[in-house]
């Protein structure tokens, strides 16, 4: 499972974080402020005009995310890649800062119903804008099932088939949508798993993440914002697959 979509107790805004030397060495790195901690100990820092995503170890390859960001930037609002650095077992992806505030921060936490609907609408716009035929990557059920370690889980997971193929975000959880002052999505971040898949692969998990961040009873607001009726079979399947990876 990608560390940025692990529903871990670790993930969130860090209270205290040491700035790695690879970050302080950047232009403006002395002003680095940690703004997000992912589920495997990776940190995102804000520095003047940019964000720097640092990941220790080899659990993920930030070069994959850099490639996806560069491709997607032609069609949707995502951070522009400034540089990618690999030093030993450390990786650093530096991007331009994009407008907006993460949907799980204030003022959006205090506006859960409005925010849930805006997240659904933002994901719909993202799906509509990205061309399936031109996307170099997939996020297929077959590939994801191959990564499921538990054989009994693989047996339980019966693919319900495709509703509609889109270019999925791959980690459409609420923190990865930025909202502007008008309450609408301004950009999406953390595209390391972007690829072609059924729309419910994203949408089922987005609605689930809204319950993690805002509480129960808001899933239908996400579906209403997207402009679709819930599909209980696909929702259940893609959530179980997400949790099994």
SS3 (DSSP) at 190: coil
Q: Using only C-alpha atoms, what is the Rg of the chain?
A: 17
Q: What is the C-alpha separation between 183 and 111, in angstroms, rounded?
A: 10
Contact in structure between 165 and 196 (CB atoms under 8 Å): yes
Cα-to-chain-centroid distance, residue 190: 5
Contact in structure between 93 and 35 (CB atoms under 8 Å): no
Q: Determine which one of 9, 27, 171, 198 is catalytic.
A: 171
Looking at the chain, the domain(s) classified CATH 3.30.200.20 span 3-96
Q: Which residues of 67-80 are buried (b: 16+ CB within 10 A; e: fewer)?
A: bbbebbbeebbbbe
Q: Is 176 annotated as a binding residue?
A: yes
CATH topology of domain 101-244: Aminoglycoside 3'-phosphotransferase; Chain: A, domain 2 (3.90.1200)
Look at residues 242, 151, 152 and name the one whose alpha carbon lies nearest to residue 197. Answer: 242
What tokens does 146 get?
């191959």
**Tens place of pLDDT for every residue, the chain, 245 residues?**
333 444 444 567 777 789 999 999 999 999 999 998 887 789 999 999 999 999 998 788 999 999 999 999 999 999 999 999 999 999 999 999 999 999 999 999 999 999 999 999 999 999 999 999 999 999 999 999 999 999 999 999 999 999 999 999 999 999 999 999 999 999 999 999 999 999 999 999 999 999 999 999 999 999 999 999 999 999 999 999 999 99
Which architecture, in CATH terms, is 3-96? 2-Layer Sandwich (3.30)
215 half-sphere exposure, CB direction, 13 A CA radius: 5
What tokens does 154 get?
């693989």
Q: What is the C-alpha separation between 189 and 69, in angstroms, rounded?
A: 9
> What global pTM score does this model have?
0.91
Residue showing tokens 């859960």: 112
Looking at the chain, the domain(s) classified CATH 3.90.1200.10 span 101-244
Residue showing tokens 């060495």: 25
Distances (CA, A) of 17 to 5, 42, 45, 163: 20, 11, 10, 43
Look at residues 86, 99, 64 and name the one whose alpha carbon lies nearest to residue 191. Answer: 64
**Residue 11, pLDDT score:** 62
What tokens does 182 get?
């008008």
Residue 171 bears catalytic tag: yes
Q: Is 38 annotated as a binding residue?
A: no
What tokens does 231 get?
């599909």
**Residue 3, pLDDT score:** 35
Task: Say whether the peptide bond before residue 107 is cis (omega within 30 degrees of 0).
Answer: yes
């Amino acid at each position: 499972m990608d560390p940025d979509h692990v529903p871990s107790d670790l993930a969130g805004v860090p209270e205290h974080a040491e700035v790695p030397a690879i970050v302080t060495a950047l232009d403006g790195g002395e002003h680095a402020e940690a703004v997000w901690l992912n589920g495997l100990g990776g940190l995102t820092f804000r520095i003047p005009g940019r964000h720097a995503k640092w990941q220790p170890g080899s659990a993920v390859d930030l070069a994959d995310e850099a490639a996806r960001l560069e491709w997607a930037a032609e069609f949707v609002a995502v951070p522009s890649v400034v540089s990618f650095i690999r030093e030993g077992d450390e990786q650093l992806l530096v991007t331009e800062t994009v407008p907006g505030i993460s949907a799980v921060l204030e003022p959006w936490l205090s506006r859960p119903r409005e925010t849930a609907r805006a997240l659904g609408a933002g994901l719909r716009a993202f799906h509509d804008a990205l061309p399936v035929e031109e996307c170099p990557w997939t996020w297929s059920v077959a590939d994801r099932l191959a990564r499921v370690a538990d054989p009994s889980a693989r047996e339980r997971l019966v693919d319900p088939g495709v509703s509609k193929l889109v270019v999925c975000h791959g980690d459409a959880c609420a923190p990865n949508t930025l909202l502007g002052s008008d309450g609408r999505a301004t950009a999406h971040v953390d595209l390391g798993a972007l690829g072609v898949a059924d729309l419910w692969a994203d949408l089922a998990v987005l609605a689930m993440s809204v319950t993690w961040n805002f509480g129960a009873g808001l899933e239908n607001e996400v579906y209403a914002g997207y402009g679709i009726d819930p599909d209980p079979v696909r929702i259940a399947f893609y959530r179980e697959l997400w949790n099994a990876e």
